[in-house]
Amino acid sequence: MNVRAMRAVVVGVGTNLGAREAAIRAAQALLHARDEIQVTAVSPIYETEPLGPSQPRYLNAAFRLETARSPTELLSVLLRTERRLGRRRDADQRWGPRSIDLDLLWDERGPYDSPGLRVPHRELQNRDFALAPLLDVAPELVEAFGRSFELLGGAPRVWARDARIVVETSPRGFEVEVEADSLADACALSIGHGVCVGRPWSSLHLSIDPGVEEFSNAVRDVLHMGFSIHWATIGHCSKSQWALEFHGACMGSPTPADVRLWTTPGTHRPIRVNLATLY
């Protein structure tokens, strides 16, 4: 049996729609769950001004991976991961907002050029939001990219999540308390407490009204379907609708659950959400 050699690569990630941090954490978990891929380092998260038309600010980061997959194989995984997190590239506006963007920035094996993929990324040396997290997880590249980074003015502002997550679990259910910057982030982060082990990942997509009661009803309904929730992301958030993705495993048997989700004012943060789920 031939075992393919592992090597280091760096993937850049960006998002400016919906629950931004939850989308980054979900992308990290989905990539790490893949065969022949291990996430070995994650950069700090930076908040950056968007290119192109008026739109929300981005969160940008980078993942360092150890992988045996070829660049084209890895690109296929990145595109599937984007789709799992709600992105539809065929509907993207040029330079427009993104629920998630995953780019292969650097490969330890060296440059790679094909009709659909170029590594390093062709605009890498012109983008501080890509260079800053890249150099965080691959400091050996300072000699190659450090001068370009300096000319761009150095790193953007590091984004610090103004949030707190406390999780209590038992055989009868779990309770999560989240303090976060927005209702979308708080709802999504209130689910991200576990890791899907031993069963293939799958996703469920729902469109719901953006509110606490609607989110708790969706959690209850998904559990009643026999779906074990391990992460939730809100890929798009507007005044009228949330595009909601539940990620986890199909367990095969419904789980009757009492789900309660409520908000209370945070002491130093704009929103606090408590999710209690009892089986």
Hey, is 65 helix, strand or coil? strand
| 98 annotated active-site | yes
- Phi and psi at 120, nearest 5°, equal -60, 160
| 172 annotated active-site | no
CA distances from residue 71 to 38, 64, 107, 192 in whole angstroms, order as listed: 15, 14, 8, 29
| 181 annotated active-site | no
Active-site residue, selected from the candidate residues 20, 69, 84, 103 = 103
Active-site residue, selected from the candidate residues 87, 127, 220, 272 = 87
- What span, in angstroms and rounded, lies between the C-alpha atoms of 12 and 27? 11
Half-sphere exposure at residue 199, Cβ-oriented, CA atoms within 13 angstroms: 14
Buried b (16+ CB within 10 A) or exposed e, 188-222: bbbbbbeebeeeebebbeeebebebebbbebbbeb
Active-site residue, selected from the candidate residues 20, 25, 69, 101 = 101
Compute how many other C-beta atoms are within 10 angstroms of the C-beta atom of residue 114. Answer: 10
Q: Specify whether the CB–CB gap between 212 and 183 falls below 8 A.
A: yes
Judged on CB neighbours under 10 Å (0-12, 13-18, 19+), 32 is middle
CA distances from residue 135 to 50, 149, 157, 204 in whole angstroms, order as listed: 21, 9, 15, 35
| 35 annotated active-site | no
- What span, in angstroms and rounded, lies between the C-alpha atoms of 198 and 91? 34
- What span, in angstroms and rounded, lies between the C-alpha atoms of 119 and 244? 32
State the alpha helices, DSSP H only, in 58-167: 71-84, 128-137, 142-151
- What span, in angstroms and rounded, lies between the C-alpha atoms of 89 and 85? 12
Active-site residue, selected from the candidate residues 20, 64, 84, 98 = 98
Annotated active-site positions, please? 87, 98, 101, 103
